[in-house]
Structure 1
Amino acid sequence: MWREIVEEFTSAEPRDPAEPGAVDRIEEALGQSLPEDLRSFLLETDGLGGAYGTDVVWPAERILNDNLHFRNDTQFQQLYMPFDSLIFFGDNGGGDQFAFVRKPERDDVFVWDHETDGRNFVSAGLGSYLRSALGSGGEDWYR
């Protein structure tokens, strides 16, 4: 299903599927379930590159490592609101990060603005997010 969406865009760079154990480790380490769409996406393609070297969807290992970093970095804890309600999964290449809200669980995609600590709605689901990110002409398509 996800590869069909990805194949609509020549700039998209899918990868081999993630190992199921890698996806399970994310949920175990973060203590939260992944949205079902993100889980199924990773099991079809372990991340997705887009135009200009952006990581539209990170590989499972990066999802795990970056989320642990955001949640545990003491400097981030002093600068920003807590990140434990979010699961980051991609970025725009310029510092802003895309995330699903997990407390309360939502399938909507939000963007975290690294300059203002703002968290704003981007799209109603992963499919809509992929089409918007891959079909855009630049890194700030969501503004």
Structure 2
Amino acid sequence: WKHFIERLPQDYTLNRPIETEELQKAEELLGVSFPDELVSLLKTTDGINDTFGDHLIWPAYRMIEENLDMRSTDCFKPFDCLLFIAGAGNGDLFAYSIFNGSIRKNDIYVWNHIDDSRIWAASSLKPFMKGWIEGTITI
């Protein structure tokens, strides 16, 4: 992950790796096991920060906060079928799909905060990050 992040076209800072107990707490609170690629990233860096202090990928504590907040919202369809991992900066959010209580694919989707649509964005975390930064993934 460090090599991949270093090769991205912008500067990002890494956080300390997540502790196993913190990861287990996040999964327990959100009721889903994180996909292997996300676990691997979090064990390298608990979130990825840009030079403005925003997150390319949220740290686990923010994933917990955002997902629990979204799940308590009554405005749209239930959100327990999504694991939000990042924001687009305009209210839209990026997420893995949870099906029957588990994340079975590494696909990343974008949830539109205006119309509640959920659209496929990338086949996994690395193509998502690269595409979002380079502008090939747009919302």
What percentage of residue pairs aligned between the two structures are identical?
30
Could you tell me how far apart the structure 1 residues matched to 2:47 and 2:120 are? 21
Q: State the number of aligned residues.
A: 135
For 1:80, the equivalent position in structure 2 comes to 76
Give TM-score scaled by structure 1 length. 0.86
Q: Secondary structure at the match of 1:106?
A: coil
- Structure 2 CA distance for partners of 1:53 and 1:94, relative to 1, 3 Å: farther
Could you tell me how far apart the structure 2 residues matched to 1:114 and 1:87 are? 15
For 1:127, the equivalent position in structure 2 comes to 126
Give TM-score scaled by structure 2 length. 0.88
- Structure 2 CA distance for partners of 1:115 and 1:51, relative to 1, 3 Å: farther
CA deviations on 1:78-123 (whole Å, 9 max, x unpaired) are x211100110010111111100001152210000111111100000
For 2:21, the equivalent position in structure 1 comes to 21
The structure with the largest helix share of the pair is 1
Could you tell me how far apart the structure 2 residues matched to 1:11 and 1:93 are? 18
> Which runs of 5 or more structure 2 residues have no equivalent in the other structure?
none
For 1:102, the equivalent position in structure 2 comes to 98
Deviation at 1:51, TM superposition (A): 6.0
Could you tell me how far apart the structure 2 residues matched to 1:102 and 1:56 are? 21
> Which runs of 5 or more structure 1 residues have no equivalent in the other structure?
none
One-letter identity of the residue aligned with 2:47: G
**Contact 1:54/1:91, CA 8 A, preserved across alignment:** no
